[in-house]
Amino acid sequence: MMIFSGSSNKPLAEKTARELGFEVFPLEISVFPDGERRIRVVDRVVDEKIVVFQSTSTPPDQNYMELFFVIDALKRSGASMVTAVIPYLGYERQDHVFREGEAVSLEVIVKTLERVGVDKLVAFDLHSVKVPELFTIPVLHLSALDLFAQKIKELGLTENSVLVSPDMGGIRRIKMLSESLGNIPYATVEKNRDLETGDISDSSMEGDVNGKTAIIVDDMISTGRTIVAAEKILLKNGAKKILVFATHAVFSANAEKVLQNLKAEKVFVTDTIFIPKEKYFTKLEVISVGRIIAQGLKDF
Ligand code: R5P
């Protein structure tokens, strides 16, 4: 196996490679003055099985294009098989038409990845469990939930705690986490989002959080608005302590400030997306998924 990485999350590729006892082979990635990218494979890859890492996080279009070119370069250079590890799959939320006239962006991404020559895909905590079904290639769908369960146990939070899904789409996720934590109770927030502006209004919730530690679990934090809305209603319903767990630290706009200003004591995320220094804040703790990806690659 030869491991390569695009430029969006090389530290995770390196961590995973170390776990496997491999190295990350270099790629020549240069950018022309007009912003176009040129990719060149330096090492011999003829008949090799290749793993390519690239998180298609911000800027998603650039990171996707770079990935497409890397795959093309590898295939043209004779690679026998390419497994793309896309720890965060950009555009996965646009998996259907929400409002008449919209593109199904995820479907375009799926078609392009397959067309460009990806043979297998490793993904992490996809927005919907249905996403793998859109691909005709094998997809390994890994999850950070075990890491979150471990952390919750380490922090001694299995007593007097409630898992909270900040929207209806995350119920399956918290049910699974609840099972692995000995069926601790869970609650759900019903989030009403304006499909045009993204604003959240009039959230309501089901479940009892009064006097309890509320553990919000989501697949991703982008602007932080979902977490802010969830926290508001949890506090209104008497939660005495709040913690946040989310797999993907998308952290758009000024999310780091929004999150640091929460009443929540801690925000746990993973390294599926590389977090630049300026996006760090004191409440943040990053848990690595490198070992899980390494284990997944061994058996895939
Ligand atoms: C939405 O369904 C997702 O699971 C996240 O809750 C959402 O994308 C987070 O976005 P934001 O942080 O901007 O509210």
Instruction: Compute, in angstroms, the gap from residue 220 CA to the centroid of ligand 1.
Output: 6
* Over residues 175-179, mean pLDDT: 97
Confidence (pLDDT) at 254: 96
> pTM for this one?
0.96
Q: What is the per-residue pLDDT for 200?
A: 79
Give the percent of the chain with pLDDT over 90: 94
Neighbours of 109 (CB within 10 A): 22
Question: 146 C-alpha vs ligand 1 centroid, how far in Å?
Answer: 21
- Closest C-alpha residue for ligand 1 atom 10: 222
Is the Cβ–Cβ distance between 294 and 273 less than 8 Å? no
Q: Are strands 27-31 and 37-41 parallel, antiparallel or unpaired?
A: antiparallel
Please report the pLDDT score of residue 196 as a whole number. Answer: 83
Residue pair 64/50 in contact (Cβ under 8 Å)? The answer is no
- Per-residue model confidence (pLDDT) at position 107: 98
Ligand 1 atom nearest the C-alpha of 169 is 2
Beta bridge partners of 205: 189
Q: 36 is written with which tokens?
A: 């176009």
Residue 97 has a pLDDT of 96
pLDDT tens column, 189-232: 998 888 888 787 778 899 999 999 999 999 999 999 999 999 99
CA 108 – CA 104 distance, rounded (Å): 7
Ligand 1 close to Cβ of residue 11 (< 6 A): no
- pLDDT of 106 strictly over 90: yes
- Reported in sequence order, the residue ranges of 60-199 that DSSP labels E, i.e. its strands, are 81-86, 120-124, 139-142, 161-165, 186-193
Q: Is the pLDDT of residue 8 over 90?
A: yes
* Residues 148 and 170 sit within 8 Å (Cβ to Cβ): no
The letter for the amino acid at 93 is R
What pLDDT, in 10s, does the model give residues 228-271?
999 999 999 999 999 999 999 999 999 999 999 999 999 999 99
Q: What pLDDT score does 262 carry?
A: 97
Q: What does the pLDDT average to over 38-42?
A: 98
Q: Which residues pair with 287 in a beta bridge?
A: 270
Distance CA 64, CA 72 (A): 12
**23-37: per-residue pLDDT in tens?**
999 999 999 999 999
Q: Is 250 in the pocket of ligand 1 (CB under 6 A)?
A: no
Q: Please give the distance, rounded to the nearest whole angstrom, from the Cα atom of residue 222 to the centre of ligand 1.
A: 6
Mean pLDDT of 82-101: 97
The radius of gyration computed from the CA coordinates of the chain, to the nearest angstrom, equals: 20
Closest CA to 245 of 296, 159, 294, 176: 176
Q: What is the pLDDT of residue 193?
A: 81
Section 45-66 average pLDDT: 98
Give the tens place of pLDDT for each residue, 138-167: 999 999 999 999 999 999 999 999 999 999
Q: What is the pLDDT of residue 137?
A: 98
For 69-89, the pLDDT digits (tens) are 999 999 999 999 999 999 999
